[in-house]
Chain A
Amino acid sequence: MADMARMAGTGTGLGGGVGRRRLLAAGGGIAVGGVLAACGSNTGRGGSGSGPAISQWYHQYGEPGAEQAVKRYAAAYKKADVTVQWRLGDYDRQSAAALLTDSGPDVFEVNGPLLNQIQGGQVVDLTAEIEPVKDDFNQAVLAPKIWRGKVWGIPQVVDMQMLYYRKSMLRDAGVEPPQTLDELVDAARKLTSKLSAKKVKGLFLGNDGGVGVLSGTPLFAAGLSLISEDGKVGFDDPAAARVLGKIRQLYADKSLLLGAPKDWSDPAAFIQGLTAMQWSGLWALPQIKKALGDDFGVLPFPKDGASGKPSVPVGAYAAAVSARSKRKAEAKAYAKWLWVERSDYQLDFALSYGFHIPARVSLAKKAGELRTGAAADAVRFATEYGYAEPLLWTSADRTAYQDALSRIIKDGANPESELKAVVRKVNAELQRVGKK
């Protein structure tokens, strides 16, 4: 915004010798132009360094040092003058809007790229760039970056989520770490009633009761999927209604913590002892370890039913190149240099600031931090039980599914009829995206 004011100011200052009316008109026009330019295209292209100028966008990582690190990597690249933008706020919307204009980034990280971005021709094909090391990437997170045999984004680091539990609280309540969903429901209920005097709840799945963060995880735990390998709806099955009914049970038992000041992605509720178990991300592990020492353990989402298996969601932000970039070749070369060739930087980025699993299996194996304790468990869960949301799972699908999930969990709506409506919607979406 300071930029906007500055540029508007410069605008009005230009018209020294012109008549007042012209001046104001021009001032207005330039101010408007300045505002537009400042909103969209403050790409920081100074052109002061060597080589062609490239702009690169990241969303804001909360970990101290991460911003300096990515700027250091960019400065180390000699073939182009790379300017890093660290975008605060709603990154998904900002980047989506910037991709509609000519003034967006050249290289950017994206929680995708999404199918509509690929189909809309907003990102460029990076198959050749990733080819030499394609097999080294975690295949679960690489799969959603592939559309019709081409790779559209290079995975940066793997994030995963899991269930944290407080060992001492479970021991005091006489509860074993749950291995099945039924055991989880029982454990949460027992913990809640034993700890009710201290106003501690059994389980925290986010302030919405698990709707947002669980998403497809219970379906995978029941041996189902969101969209099957052959591109059909993966949960048109009675087991889906059964497993979601059990999440409803957790809510109906009042075993869930709701309305915590910090949501599931932050370990505060767990550390403050507001809950005995919490679903959160791998990124929370260092903080939890620092606060609780050895008094915690981790679990995958427990399996449900005979054909079920434990599940954990995995995903990766990917580096993508904008199709609107004026320097596509240079941008592709830079993306390749950073996210394919410089494995030392990739390792540094994954582990020195936050706590992520490197997207490449060979690097994940090298990392000492990931070999012991809860971190080692997490890596094992991600490898054995990890699932990523498929590329064909569009945001319209997600909205329909999450709305249904919310009604099932909170209002006690009938899971079968709710899911039937979602299946219809997903089928329609599959048809729509299949046509392009």
Chain B
Amino acid sequence: MTATATSFGARLLGPQRRNLWFWVFVGPFAIGLGLFTYVPLVWSVYLSFFDAHNTVSPKATDFVGLGNYGAMLADDAFLASLGTFLLFTVFIVPATYVVSLALALMVNRLRFAQAFFRSVFFLPTACSYVVAALIWKLSIFNGVRFGLANTVLGLFGADQTGWLSTTDPPWYWLVIVTVRLWLQAGFYMILFLAGLQRISPQLYEAAAVDGARPGWQVFRYITFPQLRATSVAVVLLLVINAFQAFDEFYNLLSDARGYPPYARPPLVYLYYTALGQEQNLGLGSAGAVILALIIAVATVVQARWFGLGRKGED
């Protein structure tokens, strides 16, 4: 009996107690993940089938089936927020891609002070979205005569512009896109730099021998194709990040009385629906589930399209 028990216990612990150590290190993280990610997620799906105003434990009589989903998909404001997200993605993804790739190419060519410039461009990543949004809103793009943008334009005789309040032309996009561009371009530059440094010098030598002119031709036929794996990852990350945009929108455009109907991405809209004074947690959860499905499908399609993780790039 004892022998069997020991061997069972020993098997449970694994060789060199590896199973034990696995759980010692992974356990706390797994508990946190379960408690703070999976439980709320499942709970949110559960809530989405109920008329849950001001409660997270609705009664059985409040069951509404797919009612919340129907209401959300018929809600013009929610659909408009999806449109806002698409528009934002169309601006921010190519802009960040081009800017960070350009920065990486430039920094990569530097003969001296490379580390310095790498750090300089990377630094904004360390800044919080909230802080950056407030600087953009209060000092650079405020609407009065002493705002930075208005001061500069005023030198050329332009009238003062309320950057975040003007919908025609939609100047607020300029503010929203530039703040995110400034914050994230440095980070993606680092990814591209890593990609660039992995390209074998022999390829460039071979290209030179074959008569490729340095500059555009080398970039077009050597560098860019070699960055394929990095590019795919960058675009995927950019799209997901754009989908999760909340901080800068909220801090730039909300005030004590709510949020304007323009430039309102899905998360901001759901924040007001579910967590505002309305506390319509059922409807908000339904919206969150719809969003999660959209982003899952978009990611899978994108990954298939670009062939994420496909072998043979090297």
Chain B, Cβ-Cβ closest to A121: B54
Is A259 positioned at the interface, with any CB of B under 8 Å from its CB? yes
Inter-subunit contact B255/A263 (CB<8 Å): yes
Chain A residue contacts of B154, Cβ below 8 A:
199
Q: Mark B238-268, 1 if CB is under 8 A from A, else 0.
A: 0000000000000000011110111000000
Is B272 positioned at the interface, with any CB of A under 8 Å from its CB? yes
Chain A residue contacts of B145, Cβ below 8 A:
199, 274
Per the bound structure, the CA–CA distance linking A233 and B12 in Å amounts to 69
Chain A residue contacts of B35, Cβ below 8 A:
32
Is B165 positioned at the interface, with any CB of A under 8 Å from its CB? yes
Q: Closest CB-CB distance, B163 to chain A, in whole Å? A: 6
Inter-subunit contact A263/B168 (CB<8 Å): no
Inter-subunit contact B257/A212 (CB<8 Å): yes
Partner pick for A207 among B23, B164, B167, CB 8 A cutoff: B164
Partner pick for A407 among B53, B55, B261, CB 8 A cutoff: B261
Inter-subunit contact A116/B256 (CB<8 Å): no
Inter-subunit contact A207/B162 (CB<8 Å): yes
Chain A, Cβ-Cβ closest to B165: A258
Q: Closest CB-CB distance, B286 to chain A, in whole Å? A: 15
Per the bound structure, the CA–CA distance linking A396 and B274 in Å amounts to 11
Chain B residue contacts of A27, Cβ below 8 A:
28
Interface-facing stretch out of B101-109, B135-143, B178-186, B296-304: B135-143
Q: How many A-B residue pairs have CB under 8 A?
A: 132
Inter-subunit contact B256/A403 (CB<8 Å): no
> Given A24-B24, A122-B54, is A208 in contact with B275 using a C-beta cutoff of 8 Å?
no
Chain A residue contacts of B2, Cβ below 8 A:
none
Is A169 positioned at the interface, with any CB of B under 8 Å from its CB? no
Inter-subunit contact B77/A403 (CB<8 Å): yes
Q: Closest CB-CB distance, A315 to chain B, in whole Å? A: 12
Inter-subunit contact A258/B143 (CB<8 Å): yes
Q: Is the interface of A mostly helix, strand, loop or mixed?
A: helix
Partner pick for A208 among B77, B159, B255, B276, CB 8 A cutoff: B255
> Given A116-B54, A120-B55, A257-B143, is A263 in contact with B256 using a C-beta cutoff of 8 Å?
yes
> Given A116-B54, A207-B162, is A20 in contact with B257 using a C-beta cutoff of 8 Å?
no
Q: Closest CB-CB distance, B57 to chain A, in whole Å? A: 9
Per the bound structure, the CA–CA distance linking A398 and B261 in Å amounts to 12
* Residues of chain A from 111 to 125 with CB closer than 8 A to chain B in the complex: 112, 114, 116-117, 119-120, 122
Per the bound structure, the CA–CA distance linking A28 and B35 in Å amounts to 11
Is A261 positioned at the interface, with any CB of B under 8 Å from its CB? yes
Chain A residue contacts of B90, Cβ below 8 A:
none
Is A410 positioned at the interface, with any CB of B under 8 Å from its CB? yes
Is B292 positioned at the interface, with any CB of A under 8 Å from its CB? no
> Given A114-B277, A211-B260, is A120 in contact with B147 using a C-beta cutoff of 8 Å?
no
Inter-subunit contact A207/B144 (CB<8 Å): no
Chain B residue contacts of A402, Cβ below 8 A:
257-258, 261
Per the bound structure, the CA–CA distance linking A429 and B147 in Å amounts to 42
Chain B residue contacts of A208, Cβ below 8 A:
165, 255, 257, 260
Q: Mark A65-99, 1 if CB is under 8 A from B, else 0.
A: 00000000000000000000000000011001101
Inter-subunit contact A260/B278 (CB<8 Å): no
Per the bound structure, the CA–CA distance linking A93 and B139 in Å amounts to 28
Inter-subunit contact B144/A261 (CB<8 Å): yes
Inter-subunit contact B257/A96 (CB<8 Å): no
Residues of A within 8 A of B (CB): 20-21, 24-25, 27-29, 32, 92-93, 96-97, 99-100, 112, 114, 116-117, 119-120, 122, 199, 206-209, 211-213, 215, 254, 257-261, 263, 265, 269, 274, 394-396, 398-399, 402-403, 406-407, 410-412
Q: A97-B275, A212-B256 are in contact. List 13 more A-B contacts (CB 8 A).
A: A24-B28, A25-B31, A28-B27, A96-B275, A208-B257, A259-B142, A261-B139, A406-B260, A406-B261, A406-B262, A410-B165, A410-B260, A411-B168
**CB<8 Å pairs between A and B, sample of 5:** A206-B257, A207-B162, A258-B143, A394-B278, A396-B278
